[in-house]
Chains A and B, each alone.
Chain A
Amino acid sequence: AQSVSQHNHHVILSEAASLELGCNYSYGGTVNLFWYVQYPGQHLQLLLKYFSGDPLVKGIKGFEAEFIKSKFSFNLRKPSVQWSDTAEYFCAVNAEYGGSQGNLIFGKGTKLSVKP
């Protein structure tokens, strides 16, 4: 069965610090990879996604992620975080299920707290 692991449950950073959130998945086939962000009390918003091509993808709000196929990883990075980045971050994989319709398999999320 497919699974997604996010190694950090809670990350606490000061403003302007650099961020890297780890994500590993287990699935041998073709996958689509996503990072979603959930601000407190809000819904999931897509930060970025990887389908194919350049393994370094850039998303909104200065976030980027790198797909390393050999490591089954898709880590999220941001060079300088802001207080407004405080949120829960979810890595997700869209794997095959009965054809091209896939469902998202989520990691357990990483809570990011940025201190002003």
Chain B
Amino acid sequence: DTAVSQTPKYLVTQMGNDKSIKCEQNLGHDTMYWYKQDSKKFLKIMFSYNNKELIINETVPNRFSPKSPDKAHLNLHINSLELGDSAVYFCASSQVKVSGNTIYFGEGSWLTVV
């Protein structure tokens, strides 16, 4: 069973389009994240939701809008796609504990904007 699953795995789309990436976790975690990995493999957090509430919103263009319908889902919607949005987007989740916070990643969504 895939703990953190995201779809689609590969997405090729034209500039200006709007696209969504879906994410679901079956671990019962209370916190979900979106990370972006650029062409140089650098990973950086974009958003974090805890119990459907936005906790972290890094300096991401407002064309990116996360939506969390429930604790187990965190979808990423991107409007007006640009070439620079091409990257791998990783969904992740964790159960926040005082003792520590282990984050588990999905398999990634490879987005190519042409």
Residues on A lying within 8 angstroms of B by beta carbon are: 32, 34, 36, 38, 42-46, 49, 51-52, 88, 90, 94, 97-98, 100-106, 108-109
Contact = CB atoms under 8 A, between A and B. Distances in A.
B48 interface: yes
Interface residues of B, number: 27
B42 A106 contact: yes
A97 B101 CA distance: 12
Interface in B53-96: 55-56, 90, 96
Given A43-B107, A44-B90, A44-B105, A101 B48 contact: yes
The 9 closest A-B pairs by CB, nearest first: A51-B100, A106-B43, A43-B107, A44-B105, A103-B45, A32-B100, A43-B108, A101-B96, A109-B41
B95 to A, nearest CB: 11
B103 A100 contact: no
A50 B12 CA distance: 38
Interface of B: 31, 33, 35, 40-45, 48, 50, 55-56, 90, 96-108
Contacts of B108: 42-43
A112 to B, nearest CB: 13
A32 B33 CA distance: 17
Contact of A46 (B40, B44, B104): B104
